[in-house]
Amino acid sequence: MFTKSQALFEKANKVIPGGVNSPVRAFRSVGGTPVFMQHAKGAYMYDVDGNRYVDYINSWGPMILGHAYEPVVKAIQEYATYSTSFGAPTELEITVAEQIISMVPNIEMVRMVNSGTEACMSALRLARGFTGRNKVIKFEGNYHGHADPFLVSAGSGVATLGIQSVPGVTLSVAEDTLSVPYNNLPAVEQLVAEYPDQIAAIIVEPVAGNMGCILPQAGFLEGLRSICDKNGIVFIMDEVMTGFRLAKGGAQELFNVKADIVTFGKIIGGGMPVGAFAGRREIMEHIAPAGKVYQAGTLSGNPIAMIAGYTLLKTLADHPNIYTQLEEKTNTLVSGLREAFGAAGVVYQINQIGSMMSVHFAEYPIVDFSSASGANNELFRRFFHAMLERGVYLPPSAFESWFICHALGQDDIDFTVEAAKASMQAIKA
């Protein structure tokens, strides 16, 4: 079934570390050989062996309207004839920045970068430069990219591979990174009291997507905002995943909580490599060349990424009912999965908000990294492979969120639910 993928993986291991260019793709958490994809359209991906899959990764979020969305593809093709890069300003960069500002509350300026990692790294440097402080508070299991400070108690691939301490991250960096459990306000308050006037920023995934999909408990984000206000701390929301996915204005709009700096990625590039950080003018003008906090990138504002992102963002802005429809599709899928798991007699938790969700085989609510780690991840491994064999592509780790796309139809949901029922029967047999 995966003959060509197996051959390609063996070949890749000779020239690429681990055979992949991003660790979770290696299937280490679920075992087996990663599937090499050839093309995708709408809600489906097709591998090199000719197998079709209903896709619940959607490139880890950006394919919110489905793969190869025609207006985005046409826009990329048109702009590629002008040049793939100028290394000079373009009007399109202004257009995209204006579009983002029009959709997202509480931001006045945007700086384009090339990835979510770069956006979060730059946001943290900006917060330190703005406050003159060094320490940062992050949350266990939150993943903000692979910059050194964020690999302390990180989720996502670090959790998937069971890496507790990352070689190459210096002790001084680790000492300036204070990590506490997600959804635990008292722990944050304790750290702020312990390090008065030393904390530059608190950075958080407003909805965690890298230890499964984990929602903020009532009052958590509001409490963080209050702590930051009282102590002169910059509040950073990492909306690389949630930005433009959970609502037109992202988590800030959804939860009505305002951040000082917001980071973006994924959807704002329509599948092209891109990132951005944004915030109030008084903070953002500390970035060079307006200020002294240096940040630069040769391909920042790349025209192909800009037109792809703008085309997708404009569609979402002009059709806000897409978010309601996405949530309805996800609700239907969750209902079907509950039926499948219930019929199989397995204990499970499904976390969901909008078009993000995750499945955890556990008896207790999944509210942080500790509870996610304690779930039956061996059962998830077996479930993943059973679904893969039946034509459903899930995230190859229990620590990752599922992403639903608008191209997903009722027939696809029915297909997925039937695959889940058959998978659970096969697992129990």
For residues 286 and 345, state if they share a domain: no
Per-residue pLDDT at 154 exceeds 70: no
For residues 313 and 325, state if they share a domain: no
- Count of structural domains, the chain: 2
Q: Choose among 382, 415, 372: nearest CA to 56.
A: 415
For residues 185 and 253, state if they share a domain: yes
Q: Are 306 and 96 in contact (CB under 8 A)?
A: yes
3-class DSSP string for 261-328: EEEEEHHHHCCCCCEEEEECHHHHCCECCCCCECCCCCCCCCHHHHHHHHHHHHHHHHCCHHHHHHHH
Element (H, E) at 52: strand 52-55
Contacts of 165 (CB under 8 A, 6+ apart): none
CA separation for the pair 93, 91 (Å, rounded): 5
Give the CA count within 13 Å in the CB-facing half-sphere of 373: 17
For residues 305 and 381, state if they share a domain: no
For residues 198 and 346, state if they share a domain: no
The whole-number pLDDT of residue 48 equals 97
Contacts of 83 (CB under 8 A, 6+ apart): 303
**Amino acid sitting at position 14:** K
Contacts of 91 (CB under 8 A, 6+ apart): none
- Residue 238 appears among annotated catalytic residues: yes
pLDDT, tens only, 6-36? 999 999 999 999 999 988 888 888 999 999 9
- Residue 260 appears among annotated catalytic residues: no
For residues 100 and 58, state if they share a domain: no
For residues 402 and 361, state if they share a domain: yes
pLDDT band at 341, cuts 50/70/90? very high
For residues 149 and 273, state if they share a domain: yes
What does the mean pLDDT of the chain come to?
Answer: 94
Across the strands, what pairs with 138?
A: 179
Element (H, E) at 329: helix 321-344
Task: Map residue 38 onto helix, strand or coil.
Answer: strand
For residues 118 and 74, state if they share a domain: yes
129 to 132, 195, 250, 275, 311: CA distances (angstroms):
5, 18, 26, 20, 34
| The model's pTM | 0.94
Q: What CATH number should be reported for the domain holding residue 113?
A: 3.40.640.10
- Residue 294 appears among annotated catalytic residues: no
Domain boundary pick from 293, 318, 343? 318
pLDDT, tens only, 192-202? 999 999 999 99
Compare 176 and 52 and report the one with higher pLDDT. 52
Domain that holds residue 132: 70-318
Q: Which of 248, 266, 329, 421 is catalytic?
A: 266
111-115, 142-146, 161-165, 199-203: which has the minimum mean pLDDT?
161-165
For residues 256 and 334, state if they share a domain: no
Q: Which of 47, 176, 238, 368 is catalytic?
A: 238
Domain boundary pick from 318, 336, 352? 318
For residues 203 and 341, state if they share a domain: no
Q: What CATH number should be reported for the domain holding residue 358?
A: 3.90.1150.10
Q: Are 59 and 22 in contact (CB under 8 A)?
A: no
Domain boundary pick from 295, 318, 341? 318
Question: Which pair of structure tokens corresponds to residue 360?
Answer: 């955890």
For residues 121 and 77, state if they share a domain: yes
Q: Are 342 and 355 in contact (CB under 8 A)?
A: no
Q: Which of 143, 310, 348, 393 is catalytic?
A: 143
The whole-number pLDDT of residue 165 equals 56
